[in-house]
Amino acid sequence: MNDKGTFPHYMLKEIFEQPEALRRTITPRISSERNAIHLEEIRVAMDELRSLTRVHIVASGTSRHAGMVGQYMLQELANLPVEVDYASEFEYRNPPIAKNELTIVITQSGETADTTAAQREARAKGSRTVAITNVLESTIAREADGVIHTNAGPEISIASTKAFTAQMAALYIFAGYLGQVRGSLPKDKIQAHVQELLDLPGKLEVVLQRAESCKRLADKYRSAQDFLFLGRAIHYPIAMDGALKLKEVSYVHAEGYPTGEAKHGPNALIDENLPVVIIATCDHKDSGSVVRYEKSVSNIKSFKEQSARVIAIVTEGDSQILHLADQTIFIPQASELLSPILEIVPLQLFAYHMAVQRGLDVDRPRNLVKSVVTE
């Protein structure tokens, strides 16, 4: 797995490994009857899980973006309030942690210094901790009360890709497991969520079959110096990570914003020279998703009136945005909570090809390391 094989860079190889990484993360945690989620790795008593009153999620960089997605998953499936913190700021704000609260720490390497410090701070305040990591024998895994190993396999490229999608899948699994334990999810709903999880790797394979369109997109925008990435609700963290990937590997300035916040400042930047990447997928079975989609359509119309060049990530079959945006990238239909795992992949590919176009060292961006082990 440490060999690039036929791929020119580890980053591209790891992007294409994501369907299998998801299968390794998901399949062992699903019952043979596909009607329950199993997480024997969580060494926290069922009574404690049932009595939880709040969850803290602590992480840095891309892992924090996974935590932001997980916030929506946990609030929806487990019916728990969730706070997300930067690991580097967690201890400085002296977070109040009451009885019956849980802290989830997320890190690819399991050795991130800020996240380790945050985990120890949470434990010192009496919180149980659950680690989501790609390295089972890491410091954070050893010190946690439970570990969800992402099973993504070694990730060599500094820019995190398959670890990120595996982290989001792990958070969905944990959210479903908590909903199952706490009784907030009836059995028929659990079965539906399990099936959606199992279908996810196949849908991701469909996204990767369209990778060439992301290369053409990079060819078109290779000279752009600034990008604005936008998304609403659970899609906002994906806009954040799409912008982060572009910054990390291609050294292009990019900002990720909630779509609704564009009118509170960023709108002043939008003209024919600023490409706007907007995540505008829609789960037609989710009324909230439909409302957000309609707002995004309205936003795109406004951006076009400002002469913006709009790149839209949309759901298969969407003809409305197809005729509004300058470029569209389609992803398969998925539930509102799982579509972020599909949405990020075209943005990873776009960032990769932008860096290649610029002749940069994709796997080793300047001034960055794979694991930040000092604060």
Q: What would the mean pLDDT of 15-23 be, rounded to a whole number?
A: 98
Instruction: Say yes or no: 310 and 346 in one domain.
Output: yes
Distance CA 51, CA 300 (A): 44
Is residue 216 situated within a structural domain?
Answer: yes
List the strands of the sheet with 327-331, edge to edge.
Answer: 253-258, 226-231, 275-279, 309-315, 327-331
Encoded tokens for 287: 């009324």
Domain span including residue 330: 210-357
Confidence grade of residue 49 (pLDDT, cut at 50, 70, 90): very high
Instruction: Say yes or no: 198 and 224 in one domain.
Output: no
Instruction: Say yes or no: 234 and 314 in one domain.
Output: yes
Range list of H helices, the chain:
10-16, 18-26, 46-50, 61-77, 87-90, 113-124, 139-143, 162-182, 187-209, 211-221, 236-250, 287-305, 339-357
Is residue 103 situated within a structural domain?
Answer: yes
Provide the CATH number for the domain around residue 353.
Answer: 3.40.50.10490
pLDDT at 95 over 90: no
How many Å separate Cα 357 from the centre of its chain?
25
pLDDT at 122: 94
pLDDT 10s digits, 197-217? 999 999 999 999 999 999 999
Instruction: Say yes or no: 99 and 231 in one domain.
Output: no
Q: How many residues does the chain have?
A: 375
pLDDT 10s digits, 149-200? 999 999 999 999 999 999 999 999 999 999 999 999 998 899 999 999 999 9
For the chain, how many structural domains are there in total? 2
Confidence grade of residue 368 (pLDDT, cut at 50, 70, 90): confident
pLDDT at 91: 83
From the list 245, 292, 107, the residue with the least C-alpha distance to 255 is 245
pLDDT at 372: 64
Please state, rounded to an integer, the average pLDDT across all residues of the chain.
Answer: 94
DSSP string, 78-128: T---EEEEEHHHHGGG-----TTEEEEEEESSS--HHHHHHHHHHHHTT-E
Instruction: Say yes or no: 191 and 274 in one domain.
Output: no
Instruction: Say yes or no: 198 and 226 in one domain.
Output: no
pLDDT 10s digits, 272-289? 999 999 999 999 999 999
Q: What would the mean pLDDT of 37-53 be, rounded to a whole number?
A: 92
Q: Is the pTM of this model over 0.75?
A: yes
Is residue 370 situated within a structural domain?
Answer: no
